[in-house]
Amino acid sequence: MSAAAFAGATLDANDVAWLKAQHLIVPVRGVMPSQLRDTFNDRRGGGLHEALDIAAPRGTPVVAAGHGRVVKLFDSKAGGLTVYQFDPGERFAYYYAHLDRYADGLRAGSSLAKGDVLGYVGTTGNAPPNAPHLHFAIFRLGPERRWWQGMPIDPYPYLRGRSPS
């Protein structure tokens, strides 16, 4: 996914307010907001990273950053085992990648509450095997709400809450 896939979109004040109102938490258990580093604008393989990498030991629970239903479990070459979740208003998609495995029983259609475990930190896809981390992204969805197409938003300023331990 890239900005070009959804050209012309902008995040208006309404969207910003909506996203803030989700009170998103850091989607890796035990990681404090103060430990995050903003890697959104890092250069990666000729493009921008457009996501946050959150390092944690393999097997650390990955939790839902906010409320909303799972729309897709997808195994991709780059992302490995991934989850796409829409917020309750279906304006934004939350994307979780490089999972070691999914939480038991997770499926497309599952309703998640903020803090629910959806998987575990790993290195599937193109993550270095010695550097397990969660790749977390937020996309503003287009009017057709395609899980695979959206405008990337820097999650860093929105992850203010700590996940439940």
Write out the residues near Zn ion by the rule CB under 5 A.
51, 53, 135
CA distance 99 to 56: 11
Q: Which residue is nearest to Zn ion (CB)?
A: 135
What's the closest the beta carbon of residue 28 comes to Zn ion, in angstroms?
13
> Please, which residue, 110 or 139, has the CB nearer to Zn ion?
139
49 or 67, CB closer to Zn ion? 49
Cα separation, 25 vs 164, whole angstroms? 9
Strands 80-86 and 117-121 turn out to be: unpaired
What's the closest the beta carbon of residue 121 comes to Zn ion, in angstroms?
Answer: 12
Give the nearest distance from C-beta 135 to Zn ion in angstroms.
Answer: 3
| Least distance to Zn ion, CB of residue 17, Å | 27
Nearer to Zn ion, 110 or 159 (CB): 159
- By 3-state DSSP, what share of the chain in percent is helix, strand and coil, each rounded to 5? 10, 40, 50
Q: How far apart are CA 122 and CA 55, in angstroms?
A: 10
In this complex, which beta carbon is closest to Zn ion, that of residue 135 or of residue 140?
135
- DSSP helix/strand/coil, 150: strand
